[in-house]
Amino acid sequence: MTPEHIDLLAALGRARAGVRVDVEKPYLIESRLTPLVRREGFESIEALIDELRAKREERLIWAVVESLCRTDTTFFRGREAFDALRDSVLPALSHRRDTPLRIWSAACATGQEVYSLAMTAAEATELAAGARFELFGSDLSERCLEKAQSGLYTQFEVQRGLPIRMLVKYFESQDDTWTISPRLRQMVRWRRINLLSDLSALGLFDVILLRNVLRNMAAPLRGKIVRSLADRLSPDGVLVLDPEDDVSGLTDRLVAAPGNAGIYLRDPSIARLVAA
């Protein structure tokens, strides 16, 4: 690829999805686009880019953008956040609601995170009597969402972060793959969502997770996304980011929960209720 090719891909990813493409690492770009090149029948990445320039076909543009996005994920990645949700956040919120808790895993990739949330909700104790949950998983990639909805994972995938006890309890073996239980799969609703779009029609959520995303976004857009997600939180809602994600300077509508790295609150007065 020429520098012009790389600049074009970087600009496309940034404009369509806020993706920060590392132009200093062309080998990463090549590794992400090569499967698409093969799938679409092009001879090379250069031929793919020439097609983009010539026809500007929306389907192909979005296929390229989706390929540029990082989709690597594991079960229970950042275990401390899931422990906090199970032991304090979900129980505290359940006692403040007589309606189902709405939980959204934004940019959920192939679904391991939202299924981790489903297992976390199923394992939570000290919940209010009759507590119910509505889980939502979204991603930019249609291919990732198709895999997530299937609930099917390889042996390698379930070995990444999933405790043996959880595997035995919530999955069934099918030849050389594992499928999550129908009960948990039916808890989740799926939707393709671009986080740069207008999210107001989604309603409010009690918990939103956005993991392994902000660091890969173009810097000017991180604040836009954080503020947009803060707007989608209920008044006492909780936003869960990576511990390395610092929202200071991005919004004044969220405060960090004491002792819970990566957990941010709309209402500082509930900090004691969600303390680990």
Q: What is the mean pLDDT of each run of 10 residues along the chain (276 residues)?
A: 90 88 88 92 92 88 88 89 93 93 96 97 94 96 93 95 96 92 94 95 97 85 92 95 86 84 85 67
Phi-psi sector, 59: left (phi>0), alpha (psi -120 to 50), beta = alpha
Segments of the chain assigned to CATH 3.40.50.150: 79-274
CA distances from 125 to 92, 168, 202, 206 (A): 11, 20, 28, 18
Closest CA to 188 of 253, 122, 233, 245: 122
Q: Distances in Å between the alpha carbon of 198 and those of 109, 193, 239, 256? A: 20, 10, 18, 25
What pLDDT is recorded for position 25? 87
Model pLDDT, residue 183: 92
Query: Please, where in the chain does CATH 1.10.155 lie?
Result: 3-68
For residue 260, what pLDDT is reported?
67
What class has domain 3-68? mainly alpha
- Report pTM: 0.90
Burial of 98: CB neighbours in 10 Å, binned 0-12, 13-18, 19+ = exposed
Q: Looking at the domain that runs over 79-274, which CATH code has it been given?
A: 3.40.50.150
Structure tokens at 52: 């983009």
Task: Copy the structure tokens of residue 3.
Answer: 């520098």
CB 192 within 8 A of CB 142: yes
73 class by beta-carbon count within 10 Å (0-12 exposed, 13-18 middle, 19+ buried): buried
pLDDT at 231: 95
Q: What is the model's pLDDT at position 174?
A: 84
Paired tokens of 44 = 């090379």
